[in-house]
Structure 1
Amino acid sequence: MKRRDFLRNAGLGLAGLAARPYVHGPWFQGRASRETDIVIFGGGAGGLCAGIQAARQGAEVVVLEPSPWVGGMLTAAGVSALDGNKYGAGGGLVHEFREALADHYGSIDALFTGWISLYCYEPHVGHGILKEMIAPLDTLTVLRGVEATGYERVGPRERRIRVTEADPAYGPPVCTDADQTITCSVFVDATEYGDGLKLAGIPYRLGRESQAQTGEEAAPETPDKEMQDLTYAATLVKQPGAEALPVSALDREHFDFFQCSTKLDCPNPDEKLLGHTVHSWERFITYAELPNNKVLLNWPHHANDFPSPVAMFEDRYYRRRHLAAAKQHTMQFVRYMQTELGHSEWQLATDEYPTADNLPPIPYIRESRRLVNDHVMKQSDVVPDGDNPRAPVIEDSIAVGDYFLDHHHSKHHLPPDCRLDEDFPDNEPFQVSPNVFFPENGDDSFLVGEKSIAVTHIVNGCTRLQPVVMLMGQAIGAIAAHAVSDGSAPADVPVPRVQESLLDAGCQLYIMYDVPTGHDLFRPVQNLALQGVLRADDPTRLHPDQPMPAEWAVKWATRAGMPDAVTTNETTDSLTQEDVSGRLAEALPMDYGSSSISRGAFVTALNSLTQ
């Protein structure tokens, strides 16, 4: 069944879709079963980007989002400060999203309001931008307030998905005779919790792996169930003269926990004892400052981080109770700020979220169920060898990231004798292989994204951030769309075809910060990286207008199969015309004479000869 018939039979005409790009609430009408190409369970940062990319490639896509908002941690969880993938590392849909934010606020510099991120914004603005990105795509349907509750293999590629209205309080859904089914050829788990993995019976892991399991020096000696904290973020607005919220006796019992979140209330500011730096109030309140006198409350030190026990993932009744407690914890910290710290001017913003309590619709989940396969990303995949400026380079890159191994655990701040100690090495710009998306249990129609990809607990610290999750989602969408058009399994789609689609969409597959999408050298740099000319020992900034070092020229020409094209032995000098011979000299845009050849000109010429 084509999507036009799908919508007509469901009572959702195309004209209605154009005016209302997604549907919320009871949609179970008409026929009890539907067909589409791709079903994506989860409309968060990764799932929505997967849907957008797949639809742009012509696939028919249905996204199932349990919450009332799309965007996940970008919007619905309120984490409206993009972490990592700065400058040219934010290509593809990340670039589109950032540019739309810049258009809204007047410039890209207008987003640099908080010191934690170059790109800060109000959640409702981000959500509006995502809706605008969805609206033109008439093969993409986003259904809110529903979730997948059944997964059945009905053929070599066909999967029948049971769809049920979601419990807004995060408890288990109640299946009824009114439930519908959607048959698809590709299913993507892009949920915040990895719920699709469990639904489909795909092997997964919760908690930390041991050194023996992964070979990671920073892993614990024995595996355990420690997971990164979740956070119920809050968006606050400055309202001078506002009164503090009422404080109960129960609230006050918890206020001691918040001591030393700032210097304003810290009886013993011994940083070795506390396990963290104690910041001033000004440093705290400007951490994630947003436009229009707002701040994102997502502070890691004795504030609104909250434990993520394994039971929260495996028991939906427990999840509901635990997330209610996490909300209460955040509100207690807000009351603590207003009373004990004396800053009642910071109030919950009432114009951000479609919720009665003015908190985000969903919590910020940093770590979830993680796929287990034979290609799990490990510490060695994101940490450079020796003095290299980037992690080991891979030929099948489909996404990039650059954030550090950032882990949130409240237990990091316990007294030293009972503290959870994690000492991670410094990582650098890294690439992601599509192998982290594919299960190896014989299910050829399943893909996994968001925080549930095949990574270790350690590596989750740098792959869980919004931009890299968006870029991985975009890659998943490209893979899924090619699988549909080819009639093949997603894992069988040739990687070069996926890479070409992603490059066409402006996605960097190799980080060069000063050569972003839209730059004249974007494709030449990416092409040379995919051909193995640019590698892990090469710089992360090209500085295209600067003179080309002869040392680089010799190295890159040799890797490109032209060892005799650069004739100089003075590798400490800049490259000149007389140092270049043969076809490479002919490919230069001009005769430089005794002047230095620029890096950009050399890259352009070398790329033209390697196509």
Structure 2
Amino acid sequence: MIKKILFFLFLYCINTAFAETIKTDVLVIGGSASGTAAAIQCARSKIKTLLVEPGPWLGGSMTSGGICILDANKNIPSGIYGEFRKKVTEFYKKTSGYDTTYNATLKFEPYTGAAILKKITDTVKNLTVKLNTSYTTVKKDDTGWDVVIAQDGNTTTIKTKVLIDATEFADVAAKAGATLVSGAETRQDTGEKLAPETALTTLRNLTWAVVLKDYGKADKTITKPENYNPNLYACLKGKDVNKLLSDGKLPNDKYFINWCANSYPVTAEQLSPAKREEYFKTLRLQALGLVYYLQTELGYKNLSLDDEFDTPDHLPYQPYIREYRHIKGEVRMIADDIYTPYNRVSKLYRTSIGVADAMPEQNADGAVAYPPFPAYTIPLGALVVKDMENLIVTENAISVTHLVGASTCNPAVQMTLGQGAGTVAAFCAFFKTTTQHLSVRAIQGEILDFKGFLLPISDIPLTDPDFRAIQQVCATGLLQTRTEPSSGNALKILFNADSLVHTAEVKPMLNEIYTRGFLWFNKIKPGEFITVGNLLAFISEITLSEPKPLQIELQKEWKSRYKFKDDFDLNRPVTRREFAVLSNKYLNPFARRVDLSGHLVN
């Protein structure tokens, strides 16, 4: 009898163990802006995906952290971020005073932003989302990763091929054994002219955002917070508080507070897993103190917290972490990759999986004198942990320097970046390969399929019929983008479709990509500008097609198919649009493989 009981207990244990194990192709830990976008993209690429978020909302800093005014990437609404922008605008389009113009600063109530993201994920096939779910252990196995998660007191083992760390603190990567570093690198280490001479351990301030509601004439003064000290908010003296409030105006009589008075110095030690929660308790009290100060010292008793966040103090669930630690990636992006992308030995712009135009966020007491800051690309290799298969990292832990991280921390940038991370993970899962064997062009092609940008070109929108051709050709460096002042210290990136193609611009790349290019240039010797005839002759040379039939074909389709506005004339200089469209179709430079450094692969 005892043997039978033991036997049935044995079978029960086996069945229970089986029930507590879930297999998925991709596991995303962290429902941050990047994590949510990564999970959506991965699932849309027809990969079985599981998203685990410890908190109750999706969106990370821009929802749970209350950072709900986004000025970045409004001129380059790439992919999933562009979709999110559109849905937010549609939601508020009937709200009085809401700006619905194409490139307006995006403003929303945090709860609404989280609800929109949840609604998007609910409609995506192949995606399972688990909110209020934590994780405990992360372990590499032969074919992927084993992760133990906990929900409602029950633990489950997740077996996944690819793991994405989309947490705010890179805790998953740390548990997995990845190398992580904090602080500002030296000029000698990175070669960045703006970097300090000696290494700094200083991190950028974090913010505990506050969202207040206007209650009209009612007095909504809160109870004085514990350890309240009005001196903590002295930086507001002499400030135009009405203007600060106006700048943070949200729909439905709410205000977003992201001021000097709720921006806090932080160290890597304070953000360590063992100490962060205690530190955050102090910051929450200081953020409440700001509300009390605003009400009692400045007279705004009508402004107070509402139930936007279901927390005991009604403050956001989490702070806005601008910087903590960075992985050692397959490549490290430095400031020169932003300022001089075409003049470096590495050509990381060719490996772009995300775009950004966020101005660097700085501490008032340690500002860096950034020159005019251009929109830029984020390279694939910055997300891939070096020497660790199938571990991809997003949020603030990507492999960038302290100077670059001041921009990439922006939630709008992170959502765009997350789509790239999801595409990388989907590639590994679909082709049953690892992050050591990535195809840059295949991944970029998938991003383009889902309306993502590879380059932050703001004068060729997604609706342009030649968008893809221009993005692909520019991603090879065959045609280089130009910068132009935007607002403040920002520079926007332009294609200038109607300008002419200089021979000196395209000759180096044509020679590099096509073996017979050198012979053609020596034979034809084109002038200062490439003409329509020159381009057709080069196409004929490379594709081994007969010149006359090619000319007849293109002359016939010049306006009917390609919709070029200028007449077909072999003797006039070709425009950049014409060059991009025709070289993309006939020469297909985008098909040439590149490695994670952007170098051509033979």
Query: Which interval holds the TM-score relative to the shorter structure?
Result: 0.7 to 0.9
1:296 to 256, 261, 275: 256
Q: Give the Å deviation of 1:502.
A: 0.1
What does residue 333 of structure 2 align with?
377
Whether contact under 8 Å (2:26, 2:47) holds in the other structure is yes
* Distance of 1:393 and 1:427 partners within structure 2: 18
What does residue 33 of structure 1 align with?
21
Q: Which runs of 5+ in 2 are unaligned?
A: 1-15, 485-492, 511-516, 538-549, 589-602
What does residue 106 of structure 1 align with?
93
Matched, 1:148 2:123: no
The alpha-carbon distance between structure 1 residues 101 and 564, as it changes in their structure 2 partners (threshold 3 A), is farther
The alpha-carbon distance between structure 1 residues 286 and 557, as it changes in their structure 2 partners (threshold 3 A), is farther
1:46 to 34, 57, 62: 34
1:161 to 133, 144, 147: 147
What does residue 119 of structure 2 align with?
132
2:271 to 308, 313, 320: 313
Can you list the C-alpha shifts for 1:138-186, whole angstroms capped at 9, x where unaligned?
321111222222112221x2211111359xxxxxxxxx8x422111111
* Distance of 2:121 and 2:135 partners within structure 1: 21
Q: Which runs of 5+ in 1 are unaligned?
A: 1-27, 167-175, 267-278, 414-419
Q: Give the Å deviation of 1:325.
A: 1.1
* Distance of 1:520 and 1:358 partners within structure 2: 47
What does residue 218 of structure 2 align with?
242
Whether contact under 8 Å (2:353, 2:417) holds in the other structure is yes
Matched, 1:341 2:301: no
2:82 to 92, 95, 103: 95
> Which residue identity lines up with residue 330 of structure 1 in the other structure?
A
Whether contact under 8 Å (2:184, 2:401) holds in the other structure is yes
What does residue 123 of structure 1 align with?
110
Aligned pairs for 1:121-520 (under 5 A) are 121-155=108-142, 157-165=143-151, 178-246=154-222, 248=224, 253=229, 255-261=230-236, 265-266=237-238, 279-299=239-259, 301=260, 303-316=261-274, 318-350=275-307, 352-373=308-329, 375-384=331-340, 394-407=349-362, 409=363, 412-413=364-365, 420=366, 422-441=368-387, 443-520=388-465
> Which residue identity lines up with residue 194 of structure 2 in the other structure?
A
What does residue 10 of structure 1 align with?
none
Can you list the C-alpha shifts for 1:178-225, whole angstroms capped at 9, x where unaligned?
422111111111101110121111100122222232222222232232
Q: Give the Å deviation of 1:535.
A: 1.8
What does residue 476 of structure 2 align with?
531
Can you list the C-alpha shifts for 1:445-501, whole angstroms capped at 9, x where unaligned?
211111111111111101111222112211111111111111111231211110010
For 1:85, what is the secondary structure of its paired residue? coil
Whether contact under 8 Å (2:145, 2:163) holds in the other structure is yes
For 1:38, what is the secondary structure of its paired residue? strand
Q: Give the Å deviation of 1:109.
A: 11
* Distance of 1:421 and 1:385 partners within structure 2: 24
* Distance of 1:110 and 1:567 partners within structure 2: 59
Q: Give the Å deviation of 1:242.
A: 2.5
Whether contact under 8 Å (1:576, 1:593) holds in the other structure is no
Whether contact under 8 Å (1:554, 1:563) holds in the other structure is no
> Which residue identity lines up with residue 403 of structure 1 in the other structure?
A
> Which residue identity lines up with residue 378 of structure 1 in the other structure?
I
* Distance of 1:447 and 1:59 partners within structure 2: 16
* Distance of 1:549 and 1:37 partners within structure 2: 46
Whether contact under 8 Å (2:501, 2:579) holds in the other structure is no
Q: Give the Å deviation of 1:79.
A: 0.8
> Which residue identity lines up with residue 76 of structure 1 in the other structure?
S
Aligned pairs for 1:580-595 (under 5 A) are 586=555, 588-589=558-559, 592=567
* Distance of 2:469 and 2:371 partners within structure 1: 32
* Distance of 1:609 and 1:456 partners within structure 2: 39
> Which residue identity lines up with residue 125 of structure 1 in the other structure?
T
For 2:339, what is the secondary structure of its paired residue? coil
The alpha-carbon distance between structure 1 residues 333 and 588, as it changes in their structure 2 partners (threshold 3 A), is same
Whether contact under 8 Å (1:566, 1:581) holds in the other structure is no
Whether contact under 8 Å (1:353, 1:360) holds in the other structure is yes
* Distance of 2:435 and 2:575 partners within structure 1: 42
For 2:479, what is the secondary structure of its paired residue? coil
Whether contact under 8 Å (1:550, 1:570) holds in the other structure is no
Can you list the C-alpha shifts for 1:23-60, whole angstroms capped at 9, x where unaligned?
xxxxx998222211111111110111111111111111
Whether contact under 8 Å (2:501, 2:576) holds in the other structure is no
> Which residue identity lines up with residue 608 of structure 1 in the other structure?
K
Can you list the C-alpha shifts for 1:255-281, whole angstroms capped at 9, x where unaligned?
2232242xxx33xxxxxxxxxxxx522
> Which residue identity lines up with residue 270 of structure 2 in the other structure?
M
Q: Give the Å deviation of 1:324.
A: 1.2
Cα RMSD (Å): 3.4
Can you list the C-alpha shifts for 1:239-258, whole angstroms capped at 9, x where unaligned?
221215246486652x2232
The alpha-carbon distance between structure 1 residues 327 and 473, as it changes in their structure 2 partners (threshold 3 A), is same
Q: Give the Å deviation of 1:297.
A: 0.9
* Distance of 2:509 and 2:18 partners within structure 1: 61
* Distance of 2:358 and 2:494 partners within structure 1: 17
Bigger drift between 368-377 and 101-110 goes to 101-110
What does residue 541 of structure 1 align with?
494
Compute the TM-score of the two structures, normalised by the length of structure 1.
0.79
The alpha-carbon distance between structure 1 residues 439 and 558, as it changes in their structure 2 partners (threshold 3 A), is closer
The alpha-carbon distance between structure 1 residues 76 and 552, as it changes in their structure 2 partners (threshold 3 A), is farther
* Distance of 2:216 and 2:291 partners within structure 1: 16
* Distance of 1:521 and 1:384 partners within structure 2: 26
For 1:528, what is the secondary structure of its paired residue? helix
Bigger drift between 584-593 and 398-407 goes to 584-593
Can you list the C-alpha shifts for 1:311-360, whole angstroms capped at 9, x where unaligned?
233233x211111111111111111111211222222232x223232221
Compute the TM-score of the two structures, normalised by the length of structure 2.
0.80
Whether contact under 8 Å (1:550, 1:568) holds in the other structure is no
- Give me the identity figure in percent: 25
> Which residue identity lines up with residue 197 of structure 2 in the other structure?
E
The alpha-carbon distance between structure 1 residues 252 and 479, as it changes in their structure 2 partners (threshold 3 A), is closer
* Distance of 2:347 and 2:312 partners within structure 1: 48
> Which residue identity lines up with residue 119 of structure 1 in the other structure?
L
* Distance of 1:252 and 1:566 partners within structure 2: 78
> Which residue identity lines up with residue 52 of structure 2 in the other structure?
L
Aligned residues: 532
Bigger drift between 157-166 and 123-132 goes to 157-166
For 1:179, what is the secondary structure of its paired residue? strand
Q: Give the Å deviation of 1:577.
A: 7.8
Q: Give the Å deviation of 1:289.
A: 1.7
* Distance of 1:492 and 1:527 partners within structure 2: 21
* Distance of 1:459 and 1:569 partners within structure 2: 40
Can you list the C-alpha shifts for 1:523-566, whole angstroms capped at 9, x where unaligned?
1211211232222547723465xxx3335588458855686999
Bigger drift between 393-402 and 506-515 goes to 393-402
